[in-house]
């Protein structure tokens, strides 16, 4: 089984997977609406707008595991993201990224290390995983802004 085969649900509850993104670069991000890093939604949407027409996509997985910073319902999350930040990229169901009820997607992603060698549990909201068209994965810290040249260079490389 690959990352693309792991069952997920859309924010509206429909069964899905990341299969539609196979062969394209995708940035998987655990997101939250009441976090100090929530303004990163703006940068994530800018990435979507900049690279979306080249096959790239951001995908967001809301998570309430970090100080209850994503308490909303699916409808509240969708409304917040679209009205506050103009989010057009796909949002999936609220999941656990760590712990006993960790979603299988994050059980796989957490094995990948970032540039500093960190692997394991998600540290906070907005940790980022860039899955390249060949299935390789790069991990980026939550505090790395979406506009950071390190991330945009990685996206550009994955698109070439």
Round the CA-based radius of gyration of the chain to a whole number and report it: 14
Q: Catalytic annotation on 81?
A: no
**CA 18, CA 146: separation in Å to the nearest integer?**
21
How far from 143 is each of 5, 40, 118, 127, 139, CA to CA, in Å? Answer: 29, 9, 14, 8, 12
**Residue for token digits 């609406």?**
33
Question: Kind and range of the H or E element at 84?
Answer: helix 74-85
Of the candidates 27, 35, 122, 130, the residue annotated as catalytic is 35
Could you tell me the end-to-end alpha-carbon distance of the chain, in angstroms, rounded to an integer?
A: 26
CA-CA-CA-CA torsion sign (95, 98, 103, 107): positive
**CA 99, CA 25: separation in Å to the nearest integer?**
27
**Active site amino acids:** 35
């Amino acid at each position: 089984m690959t990352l693309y085969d792991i069952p997920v649900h859309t924010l509206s509850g429909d069964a899905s997977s990341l299969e539609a993104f196979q062969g394209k670069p995708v940035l998987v991000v655990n997101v939250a609406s009441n976090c100090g890093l929530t303004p990163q939604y703006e940068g994530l949407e800018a990435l979507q707008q900049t690279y979306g027409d080249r096959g790239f996509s951001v995908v967001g997985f809301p998570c309430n595991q970090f100080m209850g910073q994503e308490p909303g319902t699916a409808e509240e999350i969708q409304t917040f993201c679209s009205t506050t930040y103009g989010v057009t990229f796909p949002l999936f169901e609220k999941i656990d990224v760590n712990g006993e009820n960790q979603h299988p997607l994050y059980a796989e992603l957490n094995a990948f290390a970032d540039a500093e060698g960190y692997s394991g549990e998600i540290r906070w909201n907005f940790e980022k995983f860039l899955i390249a068209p060949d299935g390789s994965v790069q991990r980026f810290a939550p505090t790395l802004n979406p506009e950071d040249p390190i991330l945009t260079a990685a996206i550009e490389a994955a698109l070439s």
